[in-house]
Amino acid sequence: FFLTPPFTSWVTPVLFAMNETEEVAKRLYEACLSGSVETLKALIEKDPLILDRASSTKCFSSDTPLHVAALRSHLEFTNALLSWKPTLAAELDLRRCTPLHLASTKGHFKIVQEL
């Protein structure tokens, strides 16, 4: 499969945008793991739609940032996510679990109360 000119002109920008999106999603994933609300705020300021795109990226698989935060019991991070995108609480992962299911399974009762 070879691209010929008119196609080669748009391939590089598209690939760059995909790589940049994955890089930002990776930083969001790391913020979810660590519970860094400051990093979350900075990423949302840079890309207001990042929470809408995150679950479709490689690093999140089928999870949302809220699934990861609920599993890690990051209460402040969970509250921040819910304030920016409350609908994350109802989203399902591949196992058809909500963040509430994951938090309750792990015994993270403060997270359960927030969800």
CA distance 113 to 98: 14
pLDDT for res 25:
84
Domain boundaries, the chain: 11-114
Fold of 11-114: 1.25.40
pTM of the model: 0.79
pLDDT for res 84:
95
**H helical segments located in 1-115:** 8-34, 37-46, 50-53, 65-72, 75-84, 99-106, 109-114
pLDDT for res 78:
98
- Using the Cα atoms of residue 27, residue 112, residue 79 and residue 36 in order, give the sign of their dihedral: negative
Place of tokens 């609480």: 89
